[in-house]
Amino acid sequence: MSEIKIFKADKIFTGEEWLSGHAIITENNIIKTIVPQADIPSGIQLNHFENSIIAPAFIDLQIYGAHGKLLSEYPTTEALTELNNYCRAGGAAYCMPTVATNHYTVFKKVMDAIKEYWQQGSDGILGIHLEGPWINPVKRGAHIESLVRCPTLDEVKEILDYGKGVIKIITLAPEQCSEEVVETILSNGILISAGHSNATYSQAKQGFAKGIKAVTHLYNAMSPLQHRSPGLLGATMDDDTVMASIIPDGHHVDFAAVRIAKAVMKDRLFVITDAVTTTGNGPYQHELVGDKYEAAGILSGSALTMFKALGNLVNHCGIEMGEAIRMCSLYPAKLIGLDGELGKVEKGYKAKLVAINLQENACALL
């Protein structure tokens, strides 16, 4: 039996244009059509969101835990549920749980939890993002130096085989990994993102040419842009296709730097929260200091939600609301190849929608 729903708000942002006086009709959680309000069919409950915008739901491709459950310490379906609830409260219908540089046994336990989560029929978790351990110790940031390593081809094959279908993104330093390692990861259909890297401009461009399509948290933990040494940052800005995530919390990146990157990269720049949670166990002990997290005095993660990030883009970076929404929805969907079903309010797309109430500074997934 079909389940039909109708959603109406002051404005609808489709991902491409703004509509007023319209409503969205969904059937079995798929967008069926968008109609003028005069053409809304009778006999079906109308969900009206006053003082609100309806837009595509957000997607967070880098988040480590929530509500006191850091995934590397709590590799369980319960922790994944807490993480998903945190993301949903911030307007993100989908997220990519992330584990920073760690023992392979920890990665495997989180992968097992994700498999179990999927087997339970739960929604919202896209897979796992492995951030390390194949990074450059010089740019490790808050990552544990003793766990950082250059990978052998055999260990890469072993972890990829274990995580088949679960590993979706790997952040690595291209200068630390052999050409065979990069090719092997890509041949498994996994997205490589360059990060925690001291790559030169030339090394970064070579990595992009080999198939690296993304860069992790632009500006942070990478070789900077200098006029005689453009580094990974310069190579990223100087490329026509590579995309990059950014953390717009005002701590990881100054808001002016976000504006500069946006002006250069345009639709190649997208938002992640990089959010962690308080924990006093294990190698990563994050402490909430103000509105950011630190580990032994080093900036170690944000306290963002995607909705907070959206507000910062608009209010502090001067980015137009529609474009800010795209940075939180359509562009991450594009990076992971889901822009044909997510990131737009369009016929045939999944009915993953968020209502943004600007008057109350709140949001809710529909």
Q: Give the Å distances, CA to CA, from 172 to 24, 90, 147.
A: 41, 28, 13
If you ran DSSP here, which 8-state letter would residue 350 be given? B
Phi, psi of 354 (to 5 degrees): -130, 140
Q: Specify the domain boundaries for CATH 3.20.20.140 within the chain.
A: 58-335
Q: What is the pLDDT of residue 196?
A: 98
* Whole-angstrom distance, CA of residue 16 vs CA of residue 215: 25
Please name the amino acid found at residue 268.
Answer: R
Q: What is the pLDDT of residue 1?
A: 78
Residues facing residue 167 across a β-bridge: 128
Q: Give the Å distances, CA to CA, from 143 to 32, 166, 183, 337.
A: 46, 22, 25, 29
If you ran DSSP here, which 8-state letter would residue 241 be given? S
Q: What is the pLDDT of residue 280?
A: 86
The token duo for 242 is 């590579």
Pairing of strands 353-357, 292-295: unpaired
Spell out the residues 6+ positions from residue 12 whose beta carbon is closer than 8 angstroms to its own: 18, 19, 20, 22, 24, 34, 53, 54, 55, 345
Angle (CA) 153-156-160 rounded to 5° is 140
Please give the CATH number for the structural domain made up of 4-56+346-365. Answer: 2.30.40.10
Q: What is the pLDDT of residue 281?
A: 84
Q: Specify the domain boundaries for CATH 2.30.40.10 within the chain.
A: 4-56+346-365
Phi, psi of 102 (to 5 degrees): -160, 180
* Whole-angstrom distance, CA of residue 246 vs CA of residue 216: 7
The token duo for 91 is 């307007």
* Whole-angstrom distance, CA of residue 160 vs CA of residue 107: 11
* Best CA proximity match to 237, nearest among 203, 206, 260: 260
List the chain pLDDT tens, one digit each, 366 residues.
789 999 999 999 999 999 999 999 999 999 999 999 999 998 899 999 999 999 999 999 999 999 999 999 999 999 999 999 999 999 999 999 999 999 999 999 999 999 999 999 999 999 999 999 999 999 999 899 999 999 999 999 999 999 999 999 999 999 999 999 999 999 999 999 999 999 999 999 999 999 999 999 999 999 999 999 999 999 999 999 999 999 999 999 999 999 999 999 999 999 999 999 999 888 899 999 999 999 888 899 999 999 999 999 999 999 999 999 999 999 999 999 999 999 999 999 999 999 999 899 999 999
Q: Give the Å distances, CA to CA, from 236 to 193, 204, 252.
A: 11, 8, 18
Phi, psi of 8 (to 5 degrees): -135, 140
Q: What is the pLDDT of residue 199?
A: 98
- Which residues are the active-site residues? 274
Please name the amino acid found at residue 43.
Answer: G
Q: What is the pLDDT of residue 156?
A: 98
- What crossing angle do the helices spanning 153-162 and 179-187 adopt, rounded to 10°? 20
- What crossing angle do the helices spanning 153-162 and 104-119 adopt, rounded to 10°? 20
Q: What is the pLDDT of residue 282?
A: 85
Q: Which fold has domain 58-335?
A: TIM Barrel (3.20.20)
H or E stretch at 80: helix 77-89
